[in-house]
Chains A and B, each alone.
Chain A
Amino acid sequence: MALFLIQSIYAQEIIWLSNTPPASMKDNVRASGMHRLSALKKGDTKKKKVYKTNADSTKKFKRKKKKSSYSSYGAVTNYVQWIRKGNSIQKPAYICIDDSTDYQLKLISPTGNEEKIELVKSKNCYLKFELNEEGYYNAYLIIKKAIGDTLYINIAKAELLSHSCRNGHHKKLEARPVMHYPEITEFEIIRERHPWEDFHYFSSSGEKESYKAFYKDKVAENVKITLYTEKGWSKTMHTDKNGKVNVQFLQDYFSKWQELNKRKIHYYMLAAEYTVQDTNEYKGKTYPYVHYTLTMSDGYRPARTMYTSMVWGLIVFLTVTIVSIAGIFIYKERRKKPYKELKFDEH
C-alpha cells in the first residue's frame, strides 16, 4: 500500500523529451527536414534586440531577420530536444536537470553506434546532438533515484527519424528497423513500424499505431501505458500478452480546407509505468523493487484525407481524357481536306 502511494506521488513528475521549443527559444530554433525536428539556428547564443518603437524600424528588423534566417543550411546541424516535466502537453513545464541528479544521456545511431549528446545549460536547458546518419536515432535521458526500498528509473526516450530528401532516397528500405537496447535500459517501449513505412513516414490523425513494451529483451505484459495528447485527451491502457498496446489518434481536427495546415504537427506523449520485483544494486545498496517510468513523445499530422481528394483527382483525370480524345477526333475529322478524305480500309 505504501509502495503504491509513493508510486502515485512520483508519477506526477513525469519527465519527457519534447520537440517543441519553449516560447523564449522560438526564434533561435528552426524545424529541420521532413520530420520537422528542432534544430538550432546558427549564432543563436547572441541575443537579438527587438525594436518595437516604430514601423520603420520593424521593417528594418524584418529585413535583417530574413537575411540571417536559413543561413546555417548546409553546415553542421545541431538538433535539440527539450526536457519537460508533467503530463500536460499544452502548457509545457520546461525543466533542467541539476548536477545532483543521477542522470545518464545516450544517443544511438541507426547502425547502433553510440554518439555524442550533451546537456546544455544556458538560459534554457536542452539536449544537443547531431544526426549524421539516415534512419531512426534513439535518444535517452535516464534518471535514477532511490526512495525507500524501491529504485526509481525514469527513462525519457525519443525516436528521431533523420532524413533529408536532398541526400537522396537510396537507403529507403533501411527506414524500418526497430532497435531496442537492453544494455542501456532494461525496460523499453518502441513504436512498431508499419510495413509500408519509409523515410517519409509521419503518423497522421486517424492512424493506428501500436507500441510494444520490453523488459530484459522479453515482451512485458500488463504494463500500464497512458497516452496524453496536445488536445488534452488521455487514455490509459495495459499491454496485452504480446506486450502491445494499440492506439488510434483521434481525427478531431475539422476545419475548412483553406484553414487547414497539413504540416501542423500535433504532439502526444506516452508514459509507461512498470514495477518489477528484482534485486538491483544502486550506489552500493540493494533494492528489492525497481519502478520504471518510460516516456516517449512524437507527433502526428492531419490525415491526408482531410486535405486531398481522390475523387476530384479522378474527375479531373477523366475529364481531360475525354476532352482530349474528343479534341483529337474532331481535329482529325476537320483535317480531311483535299485528298485526305481518301481513307483505306485496314481489313
Chain B
Amino acid sequence: MRKLKIKRYIDNSNVSRFRFWIQIISFFIFVYGGYFFIEIASRLPIFSCPYVQGSPGGCYLIGVQHELNTTWESMLSFRGLGILTSLGIFLLFFIFLNKAWCGFVCPLGTLQDWITKLRKFLGFSFTRYDEMSFKRLKSIKYILLVLLILIPLGIRNSFFGIHVPHGMHTPFCQICPARIILPLFTGDTSQIFIDFTDTTTIIMTSLGMMIAALFLVGSFVKKRFFCFFCPMSALQYIFSKISLLRMTKDGDKCTRCGNCYRVCDVGIREIADDIISKNIVKDDCMLCVKCVEACPEDDCLKISFAGMPIFNASQEGFFKRYTGSSLTEYIKSIEPNKENENESK
C-alpha cells in the first residue's frame, strides 16, 4: 500500500528541527508573553513560572500547593470544588499534548536543551546513569510530588500532632530552579537570595540556591538532568494514559537495535527492550519524538492523536534524517568520482 504524499512528507521530516523552533517560540511566550498581554491560563502542565514577570500563565504545581494549604474541613466545602476545578484545568491542557508539554513547551526543559547545545558546542561528552542508579533515582520525583502535597496540608492541619511551619508554604517552588533561573531571562535577579527570617526559610532558600546551581551543572553534563526529578513529570504520568496524544510501539517490528535508547535524552531503556507493551510512554518520557526519528523500522514506533496517526517511524525518513540527503542525490554525488576511478584502473 502506498503512503499518502503528505504522510510520507511528515514521516520523512526532521521533527527535532521543528521541535527546536517550537521550543524557542514557546520559551518566548512563556517567559515574555505577559509583556505582550498574552494570557493563557494558570494551572498549566509546564513550568510557566508565576515568579517570572512576563509569564502569561501559571504552573499547576504552585496552584496545587496553594490550594492544599487549607484545612480538611474547608476542603469538603466549596474550596474542594476549586481544587477539583484546577485539576480539571490542568487535565484539560494536559490531555492534548500528553508529555509533549515537557518536550516541546516547558521553558525549563527548553533551557536544558539549550545547555546541552552549549555542551555540544564546547565538545564535552555527556554522562548517563547506569542501570542501578537510574532505577534508584527514578523514585525521587514521586517523593517530591508526595511531599509537595503533604507539606502544604501539614501547615493548616496537624499530622499526628506535627505542624509544618508556615515558612514551608509552597515548598517545591522554594526549591524549584525555575523560580530562580527563569526570572533571570527578564533581567530579574530578585530571586537570588537567602531569606534570614527564620531557620526554615534559611534552609529552604539555601536549598533553592543549591538546586539552581546543581541544575546548571547537572544539565551541562546530563541531558534533561532536572526532568528526571521533576514532580510535574510524575504528576503527568499518572494521567498519561487518558491523553489523546499517544506513542505506541509495535513490538513485532522491533529489532531491538537500540537506536531509540541511544538518542533518548532521559535514557529510557524500555523503549528499546520492551517488545510487549503497546503504550510506550514511560514516566520519564517527554515525547520529544527523537526515538521515532531514530527508528529505522517502518511503523514500529507511532505517534497518534486520538487514534489518528501523526508521525510514524519509517526507513526512508530515518535514512534521510541520518544521512542528510536522499538516496538519488547521494548516488548522483558519488557516481562521477567512482566512474573516473574505475576508468583509471
Closest B residue to A71 by beta carbon equals: B73
Report whether B194 and A346 are in contact in the complex, using a CB–CB cutoff of 8 Å. Answer: no
Partner of A74, one of B74, B210, B217: B74
Partner of A75, one of B39, B77, B212, B214: B77
Q: Which residues of A contact B212 (CB under 8 A)?
A: 317
Measured in the bound complex, the distance between the Cα atoms of B77 and A319 in whole Å is: 47
Closest B residue to A165 by beta carbon equals: B66
A-contact bits for B43-87, CB 8 A (1 contact / 0 none): 100000010010101100011001101110111011110100010
A74-B79, A257-B196, A316-B209 known; A168 vs B86 contact (CB < 8 Å): yes
Q: Which residues of A contact B73 (CB under 8 A)?
A: 71, 73-74
Partner of B194, one of A172, A261, A312: A312
Measured in the bound complex, the distance between the Cα atoms of B193 and A257 in whole Å is: 15
Report whether B205 and A168 are in contact in the complex, using a CB–CB cutoff of 8 Å. Answer: no
Measured in the bound complex, the distance between the Cα atoms of B85 and A82 in whole Å is: 35
Measured in the bound complex, the distance between the Cα atoms of B57 and A172 in whole Å is: 9
The reply to whether the CB of A6 lies closer than 8 angstroms to some CB of chain B is: no
Total interface residues on A, using CB and 8 Å? 40
Report whether A169 and B69 are in contact in the complex, using a CB–CB cutoff of 8 Å. Answer: no
Q: Which residues of A contact B194 (CB under 8 A)?
A: 308-309, 312-313, 316
Chain A's nearest CB lies how many Å from the CB of B68?
A: 9
Partner of A173, one of B34, B192, B217: B34
Measured in the bound complex, the distance between the Cα atoms of B89 and A168 in whole Å is: 11
Report whether A166 and B74 are in contact in the complex, using a CB–CB cutoff of 8 Å. Answer: no
B-contact bits for A303-343, CB 8 A (1 contact / 0 none): 01001111011101111110011001000100000000000
Q: Which residues of B contact A169 (CB under 8 A)?
A: 42, 50, 58
The reply to whether the CB of B304 lies closer than 8 angstroms to some CB of chain A is: no
Chain B's nearest CB lies how many Å from the CB of A45?
A: 20
A320-B214, A324-B214 known; A74 vs B196 contact (CB < 8 Å): no
A74-B74, A170-B42 known; A308 vs B86 contact (CB < 8 Å): no
Q: Which residues of B contact A328 (CB under 8 A)?
A: 127, 217, 221
Report whether A257 and B197 are in contact in the complex, using a CB–CB cutoff of 8 Å. Answer: yes
Chain A's nearest CB lies how many Å from the CB of B52?
A: 11
Report whether A320 and B210 are in contact in the complex, using a CB–CB cutoff of 8 Å. Answer: yes
Partner of A308, one of B58, B193, B221: B193
Report whether A173 and B189 are in contact in the complex, using a CB–CB cutoff of 8 Å. Answer: no
The reply to whether the CB of A51 lies closer than 8 angstroms to some CB of chain B is: no
B-contact bits for A258-300, CB 8 A (1 contact / 0 none): 1011100000000000000000000000000000000000000
Measured in the bound complex, the distance between the Cα atoms of B86 and A213 in whole Å is: 41
The reply to whether the CB of B137 lies closer than 8 angstroms to some CB of chain A is: no
Interface centre among A260, A314, A320, A325 (most CB of B within 10 A): A320
Report whether A317 and B197 are in contact in the complex, using a CB–CB cutoff of 8 Å. Answer: no
A-contact bits for B77-114, CB 8 A (1 contact / 0 none): 11110100010000000000000000000000000000
Chain B's nearest CB lies how many Å from the CB of A314?
A: 6
Closest A residue to B157 by beta carbon equals: A70
A-contact bits for B184-200, CB 8 A (1 contact / 0 none): 00000110111111100
Q: Which residues of B contact A72 (CB under 8 A)?
A: 74
Chain A's nearest CB lies how many Å from the CB of B171?
A: 14
Q: Which residues of A contact B193 (CB under 8 A)?
A: 304, 308-310, 312-313
Closest B residue to A335 by beta carbon equals: B127
A169-B58, A346-B123 known; A321 vs B82 contact (CB < 8 Å): no
Closest B residue to A344 by beta carbon equals: B125
Closest B residue to A325 by beta carbon equals: B217
In the complex, chain B residues 128-161 whose Cβ is within 8 Å of any chain A Cβ: 156
Q: Which residues of B contact A4 (CB under 8 A)?
A: none
Report whether B71 and A71 are in contact in the complex, using a CB–CB cutoff of 8 Å. Answer: yes
Report whether A166 and B70 are in contact in the complex, using a CB–CB cutoff of 8 Å. Answer: yes
Closest B residue to A318 by beta carbon equals: B213
Partner of A324, one of B41, B78, B192, B213: B213
The reply to whether the CB of A54 lies closer than 8 angstroms to some CB of chain B is: no
The reply to whether the CB of B218 lies closer than 8 angstroms to some CB of chain A is: yes
The reply to whether the CB of B206 lies closer than 8 angstroms to some CB of chain A is: yes
Interface centre among B50, B194, B218 (most CB of A within 10 A): B194
Report whether A316 and B34 are in contact in the complex, using a CB–CB cutoff of 8 Å. Answer: no
Report whether A313 and B192 are in contact in the complex, using a CB–CB cutoff of 8 Å. Answer: yes
Report whether A321 and B123 are in contact in the complex, using a CB–CB cutoff of 8 Å. Answer: no
Chain B's nearest CB lies how many Å from the CB of A345?
A: 11
Closest A residue to B60 by beta carbon equals: A168
In the complex, chain A residues 195-236 whose Cβ is within 8 Å of any chain B Cβ: 196
Q: Which residues of A contact B156 (CB under 8 A)?
A: 70, 73
Measured in the bound complex, the distance between the Cα atoms of B39 and A193 in whole Å is: 21
Chain B's nearest CB lies how many Å from the CB of A261?
A: 8
Report whether B34 and A260 are in contact in the complex, using a CB–CB cutoff of 8 Å. Answer: no
Q: Which residues of A contact B74 (CB under 8 A)?
A: 70-75
B-contact bits for A128-172, CB 8 A (1 contact / 0 none): 000000000000000000000000000000000000011111111
Closest A residue to B207 by beta carbon equals: A316
Report whether A307 and B195 are in contact in the complex, using a CB–CB cutoff of 8 Å. Answer: yes
Q: Which residues of A contact B69 (CB under 8 A)?
A: 166
Q: Which residues of B contact A171 (CB under 8 A)?
A: 39
Chain B's nearest CB lies how many Å from the CB of A262?
A: 5
Report whether A73 and B214 are in contact in the complex, using a CB–CB cutoff of 8 Å. Answer: no
Q: Which residues of A contact B62 (CB under 8 A)?
A: 165
Report whether B213 and A74 are in contact in the complex, using a CB–CB cutoff of 8 Å. Answer: no
A75-B77, A166-B66, A168-B43 known; A324 vs B189 contact (CB < 8 Å): no
Closest A residue to B73 by beta carbon equals: A71
* A-B interface, 10 closest residue pairs, ranked by CB to CB distance from nearest: A74-B79, A74-B74, A168-B42, A320-B213, A73-B74, A308-B193, A74-B77, A257-B196, A312-B194, A316-B209
10 further contact pairs, Cβ within 8 A, besides A166-B82, A173-B34? A70-B71, A73-B73, A165-B66, A173-B37, A262-B197, A307-B197, A308-B196, A317-B212, A320-B213, A325-B217
Residues of A within 8 A of B (CB): 70-75, 165-173, 196, 257-258, 260-262, 304, 307-310, 312-314, 316-321, 324-325, 328, 332, 346
10 pairs, CB–CB < 8 Å, chain A vs chain B: A70-B74, A74-B78, A166-B66, A168-B63, A170-B39, A170-B41, A313-B194, A317-B210, A319-B213, A320-B217
